């Protein structure tokens, strides 16, 4: 299967593995900052593994509405029951990732209400 070997070689010789590692770290840094400083209404939990994130909402119908609002902001995402799935392409830039997170954030606020005050620890 020469095409598979060519693809494996192209990936291993490129900056692809570094971009994935850096992108995952960027996502984790953004998530940590957001969860420490801000609690969004209607959000039960945020989970992430690498570039893939799941934003679990308290209500399933809200997840579908958030995805529709995100689409109006140029972001295509999908709900799985009450979880908004964010799965950007591995070639995404930091600026594009920031835009995607901002679109999800604004959409959650629009559907679920304004943000609440930061929690005191």
Given a cut of 50, whether residue 59 has pLDDT beyond it is: yes
Task: Confirm if 40 and 104 have CB atoms less than 8 A apart.
Answer: no
The domain ranges of the chain are 2-112
pTM for the whole thing? 0.66
Q: Label residue 39 by pLDDT band (50, 70, 90).
A: confident
| Average per-residue pLDDT for the chain | 75
| Residue that is written with structure tokens 């400083």 in the block | 37
22 vs 80, more confident: 80
Token code pair at residue 119:
């929690």
pLDDT at 21: 55
Neighbouring CB atoms inside 10 A of 76's CB total: 9
pLDDT at 72: 97
Identify the CA nearest to 63 among candidates 75, 72, 54. Answer: 54
pLDDT at 1: 46
Given a cut of 70, whether residue 63 has pLDDT beyond it is: yes
> What is the β-pairing status of strands 52-57 and 78-80?
unpaired
pLDDT at 25: 56
Give me the CATH topology for the region 2-112. 3.90.1150
């Amino acid at each position: 299967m020469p095409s598979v070997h060519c693809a494996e070689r192209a990936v291993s010789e490129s900056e692809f593995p570094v971009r994935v590692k850096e992108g995952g770290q960027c996502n984790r840094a953004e998530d940590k900052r957001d969860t420490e400083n801000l609690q969004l209404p209607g959000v039960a939990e945020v989970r992430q593994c690498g570039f893939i994130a799941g934003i679990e909402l308290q209500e399933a119908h809200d997840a579908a509405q958030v995805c529709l609002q995100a689409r109006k902001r140029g972001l295509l995402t999908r709900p799985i029951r009450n979880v908004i799935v964010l799965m950007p392409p591995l070639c995404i830039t930091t600026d594009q990732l920031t835009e995607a997170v901002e679109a999800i954030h604004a959409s959650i606020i629009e559907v679920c209400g304004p943000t609440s005050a930061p929690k005191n620890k």
